[in-house]
Amino acid sequence: MLELRNIDAHYGAIQALAGLNIEVNAGELVALVGANGAGKTTTMSTIAGVVRPSAGDIQLEGSSLLGLTPEKVVRRGVAMVPEDRDIFPVLTVEQNLRLGAYTRHNRREYQEDLEKVCDRFRIIRERLNQSAGTLSGGEQQQLAIARALMSHPRVLLLDEPSLGLAPALVDEVFDLIQELHDQGTTILLVEQNVRKAFEIAQRVYLLHMGEITARGTPEELSREVDMGSVFLGGDTTTRQESTGE
């Protein structure tokens, strides 16, 4: 469904991503994990067309997304829920949702999708006419995900959905992500809460200083990589490599 091929990305003279290769198959939930500064958000922004790669290619269902504006990437079927949610606080909840559906112009379909979103996110139905800025952090995260779903994405990019949320709300958000995946949504998840990410992901990529240093199922990475060391800025080699096995 989504493939990154040898992606490099730079911020001026600083290389943020180096030779990234990532695949997300249709219907999969794939997690990208790593310490702060590893390049996770840059990866997501590059897929979404916000950051232009300096080398490599990004393919969606066999067609390149390279050089497309973020708007055109959305039209092609990729929607991102950014790390800071990026809701519009002075607009109502419904106005935020309407912005998520800006690529579509059929009023009847919009109303049908709005009903589906309201059925899935009960709090949204209750707050449709309320300013989005008055929602709690967990409610804003639900709104950000709902807004992305309004574009009918083939691939949903979730960047740190648990960031800044209380533990009970983190569980709610991950239950929602699991539900979306169970219903067939293809998801690439960036998450620093490794335990929660490993609970729901089918495959995991470990990103360290802009490079993929390990990949596999959550069970494989749990056996092979000292994740505690990774997030303390330590070695990212597998346990077999570090012990010479």
The answer to whether 81 and 37 are in contact (CB under 8 A) is no
Here the CATH number for the domain that contains residue 213 is 3.40.50.300
Residue 229: per-residue pLDDT? 62
8-state DSSP, 225: -
Query: Can you give the residue range of the structural domain that contains 185?
Result: 2-243
Residue with tokens 């409610």: 139
Please list the pLDDT of the chain residue by residue as tens digits (245 residues).
Answer: 999 999 999 999 999 999 999 999 999 999 999 888 889 999 999 999 999 999 999 999 999 999 999 999 999 999 999 887 788 999 999 999 988 888 777 788 888 888 888 888 888 888 899 999 999 888 888 899 999 998 889 999 999 888 877 887 888 888 889 989 998 999 999 988 888 899 999 999 999 999 999 999 999 998 887 766 666 544 444 444 444 44
Burial environment of residue 62 by CB neighbours within 10 A (0 to 12, 13 to 18, 19 or more) = exposed
